[in-house]
Amino acid sequence: MLHIVACIKQVPDTKIIKMNPKTNTMDRASAPAILNPYDAHAVEEAVRIKKRYGGIVSVLTMGPPPAVKAIKKCIEIGADEGYMISDRRFAGADTLATSYALTKALDKIQKIKPVDLILCGKMTIDGDTGQVGPGIARRLDIPPLTSVKKVEAVNQEEGHIIVHRKIEDGYEVIQSSLPCLLSVEKEINEVPYSSFPNMVKAARYEPHIWSVDELEDVNIKQLGLKGSPTIVAKVWAPPKPEGGKIFEGTPKDQVDQILSVILEKNELFQAKGGY
């Protein structure tokens, strides 16, 4: 029976979040926390694979206690079990430290029930790096299949999976051995509205929550800020685009005005060194 684990994250809704003008950092309190949209598609795909081939779907996240809400959302989508690692010593982790912590949690889940397939969203909307999934795969020494837009087949007996990977000018079909890790695109599926029974189940569900001390063989120096070699020095909102310019007059007048603007822009571009 397949055991599929989806790694997820609770993130601030970037459509609503504001920037702190004094610190140039995101004001996370200004926006509600949601399940990362890419991760929702990963969970939905895991549920679809379960329905096609049988098995169970677990979800795993790292975060503060309120991140339980993200796990409950995954139960609404159709996941069976939820696991969360939560400890102040995880705080401030970059993608390297995050992949390390999640790998240690996956090692513990593996001992509960062997893991056949790991799914992640392509990236998180608050970080946009796309590094955690491949980082987990590297640490577990399993194949990472990125930008997956379709899961064509899973053959547990022969131990392989066939997927379509999105590339710049189309897609490629890849066969990989199991276990492996997929990071999926949004276009892989549509996440439907949750069924009422799943909503009731999610409301009552209590996930498994582990601290650092409940994981095995953890190097504290590789967690949180201590284990994070990268630092975000500054974050700022991009400037708002200026409004368009309206050209008036006869068609010839408008053409002359447009050419004037183009020539002016070209002169400024050349003055800055061009290409």
pLDDT in tens, 215-234: 999 999 999 999 999 877 77
Q: pLDDT above 90 covers what percent of the chain? A: 75
Listed by start position, the domains of the chain span: 3-222, 241-275
- Whether CATH 3.40.50.970 fits 3-222: no
Does pLDDT of 47 surpass 90? yes
Q: Which of 13-22, 70-79, 80-89, 93-102 has the lowest mean pLDDT?
A: 13-22
pLDDT, position 45: 98
β 3-7/10-12 pair status: unpaired
pLDDT, position 111: 96
* 7/213 Cα distance (integer angstroms): 21
pLDDT confidence tier of residue 20, bands split at 50, 70 and 90: low
141: left (phi over 0), alpha (psi -120 to 50) or beta: left
Evaluate if pTM is beyond 0.75: yes
pLDDT confidence tier of residue 128, bands split at 50, 70 and 90: confident
